[in-house]
Structure 1
């Protein structure tokens, strides 16, 4: 089987708000939009297609299984960027809620978190060098 795409489909009544959030804050583009569905593609590198994300209104006309709205618990979307500090400044200046400050983590990430209009935590990360010896304690011994 060849997988052509893989994306979360999040049910929320806030379609316009989440669309505008990902377009304004992360440069996603709207590829398809209907009154009950929004499909977004993020910017890729070197002209390639980036990450994809979709949102569905709970009043979807075909009533698929599980149309209940997302309650904001138990899910984090991680967006990896090349420069978390500049992304942090851009989102903060754009009035996105910052729920975890820009932090250099010992395991090798510079990150911060925001929350989108559907209630999803969005973890914005940049890979950096981990603290010396941090991963040694987690490595399996032969």
Structure 2
């Protein structure tokens, strides 16, 4: 597995209420997507970004970060072989990603994800 990007997932009670701080004050002015329960805001020049999450739509727990990988199926097999705790099984989601969640030894829940065609 090769990590391509890491995105911080911040839990907020209301994306619309939190949005202006991240877009106006921090300059993450490009809204890459907004599904109502998760939205990503990015600086158009640097690519710095953050995801605001009110609660995951299909997983039993929220993740603290999303690790975007080149081959999510291979990453899932690696996690199983290593005995890593799987929090949410490998799933193809209707919004265009294939992902699974793992728990790090410190308890943090990580979303391992790749976009699919």
Which bracket does the TM-score occupy, shorter chain normalised? 0.3 to 0.5
More relative contact order in 1 or in 2 (CA 8 Å, sep 6+)?
2
**TM-score of the aligned structures, taking structure 1 as reference length:** 0.39
Question: Higher strand fraction: Structure 1 or Structure 2?
Answer: 2
